[in-house]
Amino acid sequence: MKFGTWVRGHRLRQGLSMDKVCKSVEMSKAYLSLIETGQKGPPKDNVVVQLAKAINLSEEDLLMRAHQERFPEDVLRLRGVIGEMRGAVRSIQTQASLAGATGATESSLDKAILALNKTTERLHALIPSDTTETSELLNELEDLRAEEREFILNMANEIKRLRPRRGPQKQVGGE
């Protein structure tokens, strides 16, 4: 069922007039009518939350319905994988901090980077070939990739700095 049709049906079941809902949400009757008749898609999230309160619905439920109509299922999965990538980057940051503080080996960092790479592969598999509807998510992904690249370069430099030097050592004050 379309978002607007669902909102209208619930509003009517609650016995709420358009006037009452519009006053509490601070929206025009014309705009609410366009939403309820499906001529306009779901409004922005902050308006959806206000609308949920006005018609006595769960904010989470109404937001979910709005998101499902705004974004195809593959885009929602893409957002989930982007969240996983952010978690993997945080894990790498934690491992890098621990490695720096304890002098740990690189293996824990390697494992975290491997997990991030696997998540990146899953992300690429989810990106549709027609990206016109997902430009906002792709911009977010590009920002994340830039952050990831910068972080990994910084982490590699930090590992090099912390790693004991190999090769002949200079003798101090010698013969």
Residue range 151-164, pLDDT digits in tens? 776 776 776 666 65
Q: In terms of CATH, what superfamily is 3-70? A: lambda repressor-like DNA-binding domains (1.10.260.40)
Report the distance separating Cα 4 and Cα 33, nearest Å.
9
> pTM of the full predicted structure?
0.45
- 28, 21 Cβ separation under 8 angstroms: no
Q: Which of 18-22, 112-116, 121-125, 157-161 has the highest mean pLDDT?
A: 18-22
pLDDT over threshold 50, residue 131: no
Report the distance separating Cα 16 and Cα 103, nearest Å.
65
Angle at which helices 107-126 and 73-102 cross, to 10°: 170
Choice between 75 and 12, residue whose per-residue pLDDT is larger: 12
Mean pLDDT over the full length of the chain: 76
Choice between 73 and 80, residue whose per-residue pLDDT is larger: 80
Report the distance separating Cα 132 and Cα 4, nearest Å.
24
In 110-161, at which residue ranges do the beta strands (DSSP E only) sit?
none
| Per-residue pLDDT at 175 | 47
